[in-house]
Structure 1
């Protein structure tokens, strides 16, 4: 009984980012993201994924997005921290469709103001509409999704990206997901190779943005012990 109570409180503290996620990270700690991390997460996202679409909308938009992910009850937002500095992040959602709906309702106005003049550019506006329609395009696939992984180049060789991915998958499983998908540009050889190495299987291709083919990778959720046995 005592072990059950201790385990319950440890899970609650971990969810609030007050207890580290177990990992032998060579001086790097993993924890749940907190509201105070939003600016650092936005900066890391823009810095490590400069060619992606969302950074085009600006750091202010990204800060609002990460605030939404951190507070959403069906989302997972993780931080890798070294010497008090954020060096990695990973996010996921139990349902992208529901996440988008809550984001628009609770953060949409502030996010639009932050994106500002960029939204009047036809190409940017087109991609925003395509992104908003993405949950419809992905019908027939699991709703749970690993949304982003960003890691500082200096620590990528330490297995941090894989550990972050596995922890997001485990957390989404605890939220009720049976499978988790990730969508990535088919031309991104490094990214596709990474998800294959983690254990994802290639499920299909789709066109989220006009003229760009994306691969959809899917993985079955496993228990916490199952992930740890693979990682050790």
Structure 2
């Protein structure tokens, strides 16, 4: 089996794999699957995705046939990335193809400078959720998404804590440290404490696990809100202005 960068010529195979994968993994009707494939994997859409420098699309090929693919997206600053889709043809499942795609994707992202990788999978895809947990990832948030005109819940996964601080670069170029043992629950995902030093004495702000980005600092009332995705932790202190 070969894992390689997907090419425009792979577009028909990508659509075919995605269709069979969706049929096997989700409780979607034929019409919903057709609409989803048209929206996400139409000829123009696949072409734009493959040409996007912030997207990484890898194909798994066996005997000249594409049997799976993984699509991921780097953040604007290139420091974080999210695996958006990982599809394997049902006829080839159980052969570690998903694991090979996952590992090669993570390697490729890290080689490009990405420091944190997250994954997304719809809540009703039991195999997909089990897969991320088997890779040592833990669910850190949820988000509602529109699939073929219907609102569904998507789980967000990130690597589990190893007990230490994880370094990332902030927008101003400074290296800061995410403490994955110190977190608050938000409306859509966890907020991890971020420090400006490795000793965790100089508090810098918070990291939003729902969208894998640094969030606003806590205000005087104890409220945290992410500008990017809207994940929020409600205020813990109240005064007359809130009554």
Match of 1:150 in 2: 87
Query: Are residue 93 (structure 1) and residue 73 (structure 2) matched?
Result: yes
CA contact (8 A) 1:46 1:59 kept: no
Match of 2:152 in 1: 212
Give deviations 1:156-184, integer Å, cap 9, x for gaps. Answer: 11111011011112212222221111222
Q: TM-score, normalised by structure 1?
A: 0.57
CA contact (8 A) 2:2 2:62 kept: yes
Residue 178 to residue 186, structure 1, CA distance change in 2 (3 Å): same
Match of 1:203 in 2: 140
Q: Structure 2 stretches of 5 or more lacking a match?
A: 161-165, 167-243
Match of 1:30 in 2: 3
Which of 100, 107, 110 lines up with 1:173 in the alignment? 110
Q: For residue 94 of structure 2, give the secondary structure of its aligned residue in structure 1.
A: helix
Structure 1 segments, 4+ long, off by >6 Å, are none
Structure 1 Cα separation of the partners of residues 37 and 125 of structure 2: 23
Q: For residue 214 of structure 1, give the secondary structure of its aligned residue in structure 2.
A: strand
Match of 2:12 in 1: 39
Larger Rg: 2
Q: Which of the two has greater helix per residue?
A: 1
Match of 1:21 in 2: none
Residue 59 to residue 83, structure 1, CA distance change in 2 (3 Å): farther
Q: For residue 208 of structure 1, give the secondary structure of its aligned residue in structure 2.
A: strand
Structure 2 Cα separation of the partners of residues 45 and 211 of structure 1: 20
Q: TM-score, normalised by structure 2?
A: 0.54
Give deviations 1:192-221, integer Å, cap 9, x for gaps. Answer: 100110121211223234753322101389
Which of 47, 52, 64 lines up with 1:67 in the alignment? 47
Match of 1:78 in 2: 58
Query: Number of residues paired by the alignment?
Result: 151
CA contact (8 A) 1:35 1:70 kept: yes
CA contact (8 A) 1:93 1:172 kept: no
Q: For residue 207 of structure 1, give the secondary structure of its aligned residue in structure 2.
A: strand
Task: Indicate the structure whose relative CO is greater, using CA pairs within 8 Å and at least 6 residues apart.
Answer: 1
Structure 2 Cα separation of the partners of residues 60 and 216 of structure 1: 22
CA contact (8 A) 2:3 2:104 kept: no
